[in-house]
């Protein structure tokens, strides 16, 4: 799903104080008016750099995880829950998700970890960027996987960012510790 200023602001509000939020939101009103994908990608790159500078790397990642939690649609969560109820095992569930191409279509389990991988950026902006976007941006996908997993499993999980197309890798990869 594409970047949404409203999601970003809501996630910011949960993670930083009002002064930092106000500084980071300065100029965000122009984003939706930008027509060029390349210019949008550059704008996002600049925003991620400002976010890291203003809030620090750990908080910046937390902000983007919050964006990802908001990004996943209710209907997709409901579809995943239906697959979960029909599945006999976690591996069977992952097969069902892969067949439905939920979570990138390449989910596999090794012990208590599920690995998710996808070979294209679902954001779409990364492929338009002339230069790498900070990896902080990709923590949105951590939030997406976290929301999916926690909704289905009904318990907290940890999601680790492993690699991303935005950083020049062949695929985006994440580890979901269940």
Q: 155 versus 37: which is more confidently predicted?
A: 155
Residue 125: which residues within 8 A CB-CB, separation 6 or more? 2, 3, 37, 40, 41, 44, 133
CATH number at residue 155: 3.30.1380
How many Cβ atoms from other residues are within 10 Å of residue 25's Cβ? 15
Mean pLDDT of the chain: 93
Residue 1: the pLDDT is 59
At residue 28, does pLDDT exceed 80?
A: yes
Q: Where are the beta strands (DSSP E) in the chain?
A: 107-110, 113-118, 158-163, 172-177
At residue 27, does pLDDT exceed 70?
A: yes
At residue 131, does pLDDT exceed 80?
A: no
Rama region for 53: left / alpha / beta (φ>0; ψ in -120 to 50; rest): alpha
Q: Is the dihedral of CA 16, 148, 103, 162 positive or negative?
A: positive
Range of the domain at 73: 5-177
Count of domains for the chain? 1
Q: How far apart are CA 164 and CA 173, in angstroms?
A: 6
Rounded mean pLDDT, 104-123: 92
Q: 34 versus 167: which is more confidently predicted?
A: 34
pTM of structure: 0.93
Contact between residue 133 and residue 58 where contact means Cβ atoms under 8 Å apart: no
What pLDDT, in 10s, does the model give residues 35-78?
Answer: 988 888 889 999 999 999 999 999 999 999 999 999 999 999 99
pLDDT band at 133 (very low <50, low <70, confident <90, very high): confident
């Amino acid at each position: 799903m594409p970047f949404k200023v409203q999601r970003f602001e809501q996630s910011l509000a949960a993670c930083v104080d009002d002064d930092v939020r106000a500084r980071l939101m300065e100029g965000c009103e122009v984003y939706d008016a930008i027509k060029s994908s390349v210019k949008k990608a550059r704008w996002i790159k600049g925003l991620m750099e400002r976010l890291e500078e203003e809030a620090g790397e750990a908080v910046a990642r937390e902000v983007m995880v919050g964006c990802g939690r908001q990004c996943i649609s209710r209907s997709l969560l409901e579809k995943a829950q239906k697959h979960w109820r029909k599945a006999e095992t976690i591996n069977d569930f992952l097969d069902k998700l892969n067949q439905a191409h939920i979570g990138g279509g390449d989910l596999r389990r090794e012990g208590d970890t599920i690995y998710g991988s996808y070979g294209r950026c679902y954001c779409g902006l990364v492929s338009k960027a002339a230069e790498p976007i900070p990896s902080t941006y990709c923590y949105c996908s951590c939030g997406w996987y976290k929301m999916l997993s926690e909704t289905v499993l009904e318990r907290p999980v940890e999601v680790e960012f492993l690699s991303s197309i935005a950083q020049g890798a062949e695929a985006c990869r994440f580890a979901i510790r269940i």
